[in-house]
Chains A and B, each alone.
Chain A
């Protein structure tokens, strides 16, 4: 890039064409790290917009200017605007004399049930009492799966078998939890494709009827460009089909299978960018203790490496 630096050094301000090679390299880098194409493109556009017309410091290279602008943009996106403090909110609900309800939603096989069990364990460790609600009444083995986790963790589980209306099962579970003075109800739901209208409708119903305190979208770090579509459509379905006065959206993201992707951490960025929801937990393994917080700094570093 040495020729580039020279050609620009004398200019008064940066033009889009000056930035293009550096931006292209940056976009390629992001996509190779599994950032969705659309998101990588938008990010580069906004970085370009923030730099065009600016003066380049006499000894700065374009590449480093672009890079630090990108770093700033990433930090802004990944730093949550809404914060989710589950333990505090659980306490508040407890003072109001009702259980705190978390619903886990997402497409098929991403790790909803497993990470629900991890969250249960985490809550237990913080002295919070938990009840699981087996509201995946569709997929073979789903009820037994939850029952197994509940048994291992010695947690109560509310189940009504298969083929029941999950919205009703959830309702009964919450009532039972209130009766038993449990602090938290963790509601497992069946996986569903974001384009499957009847199933998305059923999910909205579950949420409208039960008004959970927290809707966690479970997405896997393995997902590529589809991750963006998943989040948009889950959010959209919740918003469109809401029957309550306040619009309901996804409150937070639980990013799973983080242990399977090496440095291809881009899905984290795509999901947060498109939804504006914070990553509340990161699943990084298949045992109960494999639940972590997102380290924004290290994500940014990996993305720009």
Chain B
């Protein structure tokens, strides 16, 4: 998993610092610079990296550290905490509850992987004995309904959509109502791709949410996204009650730092990773074990249980 590369680079930077005989201003600076470079080249938002650097510098006041204190440990702990804060929004995501119709709405930028991920999500739960269903509330993109229909058919999951109706709000409502009547317990609503610069598209998203009353809104983000990630994710959060993030295309080469920005911007945890174009290329993501694994090597082990 590619985010782990970042962990490796950070660990190495800290290791190098540990190799220095004295830890002075220069050694700390070099270490923090290397960590920042690692974060930048993984597409973490510029401001977040700067804040992190500033926070660590604040915590690690070299002059005030009495000679007896373990400087390395203090620095490492500060780095660890900052990374945890970035990845871990502190509250778990909504988990679908059996015995009631859970409505899950997928939102995100154009081409991020919503439609593909909807089926993966449905398929994942179907294998666990759930009764999922898919609603295509994308009436905009050419071929959108065919795409969802072909995916759903392959996975043997019921679907709802229309070739003629142009109002996504209407389809969303009808689809959710239909599947509630058929006592599906996981009703997944796929929506069109949109971006914050087009207000009408965000308004449409609000309306779909209003009629479907989702239990969970999932923001789908492409792992290769750069510095625009934070602003876009934040705008989605402001217009829809985003409660979880899924990061797609993790089978690519991107280091996925844009995802960290999305977590920060939506204050929502990552729940799954997409790792390929096929239905079963989907992994559960758990923040705590991930952070531990990311940093839980060598010197880090002491902090993990804190």
Known: A28-B46, A262-B228. A145 touches B253 (CB 8 A): no
Interface residues of B (CB under 8 A from A): 37, 40-43, 46-47, 109-113, 140-151, 154, 195-198, 222, 224-229, 231-232, 249, 251-255, 257-258, 277
Is the Cβ of B141 less than 8 Å from the Cβ of A193?
no
Q: What count of chain A residues pass the 8 Å CB interface test?
A: 53
Known: A220-B111, A262-B231. A108 touches B249 (CB 8 A): yes
Measured in the bound complex, the distance between the Cα atoms of B147 and A230 in whole Å is: 26
* Total number of residue pairs linking A and B with CB closer than 8 Å: 150
Is the Cβ of B197 less than 8 Å from the Cβ of A259?
yes
A259 in complex: contacting residue of B195, B249, B253, B254, CB < 8 Å: B195
Is the Cβ of B277 less than 8 Å from the Cβ of A260?
no
Most buried by B among A33, A34, A117, A142: A34
Is the Cβ of A260 less than 8 Å from the Cβ of B109?
yes
Answer yes or no: A109 CB below 8 A from chain B CBs.
yes
Q: How far is the CB of A240 from chain B (nearest CB, A)?
A: 17
Residues of B within 8 A of A47 (CB): none
Measured in the bound complex, the distance between the Cα atoms of B51 and A24 in whole Å is: 17
Measured in the bound complex, the distance between the Cα atoms of B154 and A138 in whole Å is: 13
Interface residues of A (CB under 8 A from B): 28, 31-34, 36-38, 107-111, 113-114, 117, 138-149, 152, 193-196, 220-227, 229-230, 233, 257, 259-262, 264, 266-267, 286
**Considering only CB atoms, which chain A residue lies closest to B254 in the complex?**
A226
Is the Cβ of B226 less than 8 Å from the Cβ of A109?
no
Is the Cβ of A266 less than 8 Å from the Cβ of B227?
yes
Shortest beta-carbon contacts, A-B, top 5: A224-B226, A141-B147, A145-B143, A109-B111, A224-B43
Is the Cβ of B148 less than 8 Å from the Cβ of A36?
no
**Considering only CB atoms, which chain B residue lies closest to A190 in the complex?**
B277
Known: A140-B151, A227-B226. 14 other contacts (CB 8 A): A111-B111, A140-B147, A142-B143, A148-B142, A148-B143, A193-B253, A195-B251, A195-B252, A221-B228, A222-B222, A224-B224, A226-B224, A262-B197, A264-B228
Is the Cβ of A141 less than 8 Å from the Cβ of B143?
yes
Q: How far is the CB of B176 from chain A (nearest CB, A)?
A: 22
Is the Cβ of A139 less than 8 Å from the Cβ of B147?
yes
Residues of B within 8 A of A226 (CB): 43, 224, 226, 252-255
Is the Cβ of B222 less than 8 Å from the Cβ of A194?
no
Residues of A within 8 A of B257 (CB): 224
Residues of A within 8 A of B143 (CB): 141-148
**Considering only CB atoms, which chain A residue lies closest to B252 in the complex?**
A193
Cross-chain pairs A/B with CB under 8 angstroms, 11 sampled: A31-B40, A109-B113, A109-B249, A139-B277, A140-B147, A195-B252, A222-B109, A224-B229, A224-B258, A261-B228, A286-B140
Known: A193-B249, A194-B253, A225-B254. A140 touches B146 (CB 8 A): yes
Known: A224-B43, A224-B227, A225-B42. A257 touches B147 (CB 8 A): no
Measured in the bound complex, the distance between the Cα atoms of B41 and A108 in whole Å is: 21
Is the Cβ of B252 less than 8 Å from the Cβ of A194?
yes
Q: How far is the CB of B77 from chain A (nearest CB, A)?
A: 26
Is the Cβ of B251 less than 8 Å from the Cβ of A36?
no
Measured in the bound complex, the distance between the Cα atoms of B43 and A38 in whole Å is: 12
